[in-house]
A and B are shown apart, each in its own frame.
Chain A
Amino acid sequence: MSTVETDIQQAVEDAAAHLYVWALKDIPQDLRDALADAAERETSVPGQRVLQTILRNVQVAEDEQNLVCQDTGIAVYYCKVGEHFPLHPARIYQALYDGTVRATLDHPLRSNTVHTLTRENTGPNVGYRVPIVHWDFVPDWDGLDVKCVPKGSGSENMSFLKMCVPADGVKGIKQFVLESIVGAGGKPCPPGIVGVGIGGSADYAMHLAKEAIARPVGSRNEDPLVAQLEEELTGLLNETGIGPMGLGGDITVLHCHVEHADTHMTLNPVAVNYQCWAARRASAHIRADGSTEFDREA
């Protein structure tokens, strides 16, 4: 943790620049613990070797001050803005954009962003509507929380949506999650975090699935019914035998996180967003005076 004091837009830009690189290099303790726990439980020979290699890689990244994974991802930020925070979200967006550019050029980081039709690179991990920023607004508060989640493409490509019907019930939800993860096989770098979004609408279900992967690893939904579904799905997914990197084994996922929203009586949407084992995230808590506390575990 460290403290930075400067003017407020600069403070947000500095936070973004720091968070992007920090998230890529230093994975959270909850994730390290989950990976070490997986290595203890895995019984297959290749699965065991994969997990030992992953743990060694996390250590090498730390020793060499290098990135855990070369895929610097697409820059995603989650912002919680207090109603009295003294910088408008339009300016916060600009600060996140500028911070992403600075991190990419200074490190340097690989630039991944391309025009979606021409496939031409659009700049230092920024472009039209990139970085992607999600907003939450908090009454009676003057702070800003920023969580940076650089999202790798190997896992993002393993995203799935199904508009189940009400008659499919909870069974339909479970079945779709299981089929998605078996179909994904080794492609999204298992064992990772399976984010599931249920309810809401088609777009909101996927938004919730993405929010689910950004939670602390192994955290449980506050709603006991949803938490029970998380436990059950985690167990069932680990019965599939896909295993670490899809080479077969006991540990296919570290955890399944579920986020939900109430929905229309005729809707039963279920979205799956996968997060690879290198589930990078890092947060900053920025106060109204611009002082910043960095937080790896939020």
Chain B
Amino acid sequence: MAEHRLTFPASEDDIRKLRAGDLVTVDGHIIGIRDRSHIRIFDEGLEPPMDFSGAFLLHTAPGVRKLGPGRYEKVCIGTTTSARMVRFTEGLGRDYGVRAIAGKGGLPDEAIEPMRRYGMVYFAIVGGAAALETTQIEEIEEVAWEELMPECLWRFRVKDFGPLWVGIDSYGNSLFHDVQEAATKRLEDIVARL
């Protein structure tokens, strides 16, 4: 298990250096996205008003305080369950050049192939650890699609964002697949002796 520090937006070369199980800390800019903002892009066909190339997308719907038109300050920002949004993985890589998707709980196996093909990774964060995560977000720099509050698109500036585990790498490996496979096997043994 290697440890890395990466700045986003990132290049394909940066991403190809990461292997499933590695630990990563992130600086730079990341974009918050969630169910409804994905649906707007892929099901309703609207172009996202933010640049996704090389981007780090975080599955989040932040708790914020409104300061003025389009201006918000953080209250509590954490991460939601990623699996609900797995069907958007391929489009994010193919059409928009996204490099990293981060959330909690893992992405199902259907994310493995698009991540290999387009040079993307899935980062697993510690779900529920929002108080800590909030301290790693320096500022909310931009908010788009405010009418979807809190499921808008958010641009955050972050420092020391993590710890993040490479849950799926760009070579077809998934930590979550491996854990699930091993657990299923153990389950068979447990059930056999019930």
Which A residues are within 8 Å of any B CB, using their own CB? 45-46, 49-50, 53-54, 56-58, 60-61, 64, 66-72, 107-111, 119, 121, 152-154, 157, 171, 174-175, 178-179, 182, 185-189, 236, 239-243, 245-248, 276-278
Dominant secondary structure at the B interface: mixed
- CB–CB B183/A242 < 8 A: yes
B2 CB within 8 Å of chain A: no
19 contacts between A and B (CB under 8 A): A46-B21, A56-B129, A57-B126, A57-B131, A61-B131, A67-B63, A69-B76, A70-B79, A107-B75, A109-B75, A110-B63, A110-B76, A157-B84, A174-B194, A185-B105, A186-B104, A186-B127, A240-B187, A278-B128
Interface members, chain B 54-92 (any A CB < 8 Å): 60-65, 75-81, 83-84
Q: Provide the residues of chain B in CB contact with A64, threshold 8 Å.
A: 131, 134-135
Cβ proximity bits B97-119 to A, threshold 8 Å, 1 near / 0 not:
00000001110000000000000
Q: Provide the residues of chain A in CB contact with B129, threshold 8 Å.
A: 53-54, 56-57, 69
Q: Provide the residues of chain B in CB contact with A187, threshold 8 Å.
A: 81, 83, 104-106
Give A236's nearest chain B residue, CB to CB. Answer: B190
Which B residues are within 8 Å of any A CB, using their own CB? 1, 21, 23, 36, 60-65, 75-81, 83-84, 104-106, 124, 126-135, 149-150, 163, 165, 167, 175-176, 178-180, 182-184, 186-187, 190-191, 194
Q: Provide the residues of chain A in CB contact with B130, threshold 8 Å.
A: 57, 66-71
- CB–CB A154/B126 < 8 A: no
Most B Cβ at <10 Å: residue of A70, A110, A154, A245: A70
Q: Provide the residues of chain B in CB contact with A241, threshold 8 Å.
A: 179, 182-183, 186
Give A109's nearest chain B residue, CB to CB. Answer: B63
A-B contact count (CB 8 A): 164
Closest 7 A-B residue pairs measured CB to CB?
A70-B78, A61-B131, A57-B129, A187-B105, A110-B63, A70-B130, A186-B105
Cβ of B17 to closest chain A Cβ, rounded Å: 19
A243 to B124: give the CA distance in the assembly, Å: 14
Given the known interface contacts A54-B129, A60-B131, the answer about A182 and B81 at a Cβ–Cβ threshold of 8 Å is no
A278 to B178: give the CA distance in the assembly, Å: 26
Cβ of A11 to closest chain B Cβ, rounded Å: 28
Give B77's nearest chain A residue, CB to CB. Answer: A70
Selected contact of B175 from candidates A179, A239, A248, CB within 8 Å: A248
Q: Provide the residues of chain A in CB contact with B190, threshold 8 Å.
A: 178, 236, 239-240
A69 to B132: give the CA distance in the assembly, Å: 9
A143 to B64: give the CA distance in the assembly, Å: 37
- CB–CB A71/B78 < 8 A: yes
Cβ of A88 to closest chain B Cβ, rounded Å: 34
Q: Provide the residues of chain B in CB contact with A56, threshold 8 Å.
A: 129, 132
Q: Provide the residues of chain B in CB contact with A277, threshold 8 Å.
A: 128
Give A72's nearest chain B residue, CB to CB. Answer: B63
Given the known interface contacts A56-B132, A187-B81, the answer about A66 and B76 at a Cβ–Cβ threshold of 8 Å is yes
Give B84's nearest chain A residue, CB to CB. Answer: A157
Q: Provide the residues of chain B in CB contact with A46, threshold 8 Å.
A: 21, 165
A240 to B130: give the CA distance in the assembly, Å: 27
User: Other CB < 8 Å A-B pairs besides A70-B78, A154-B81, 19 of them?
Assistant: A50-B126, A60-B131, A66-B134, A67-B75, A70-B76, A70-B79, A71-B80, A111-B150, A153-B80, A154-B127, A182-B184, A185-B176, A186-B127, A186-B179, A189-B105, A241-B182, A242-B183, A247-B175, A248-B182
Given the known interface contacts A110-B62, A175-B194, A246-B176, the answer about A57 and B132 at a Cβ–Cβ threshold of 8 Å is yes
Q: Provide the residues of chain B in CB contact with A239, threshold 8 Å.
A: 186, 190
Q: Provide the residues of chain B in CB contact with A189, threshold 8 Å.
A: 104-105, 127-128
- CB–CB B127/A68 < 8 A: no
A239 to B190: give the CA distance in the assembly, Å: 8
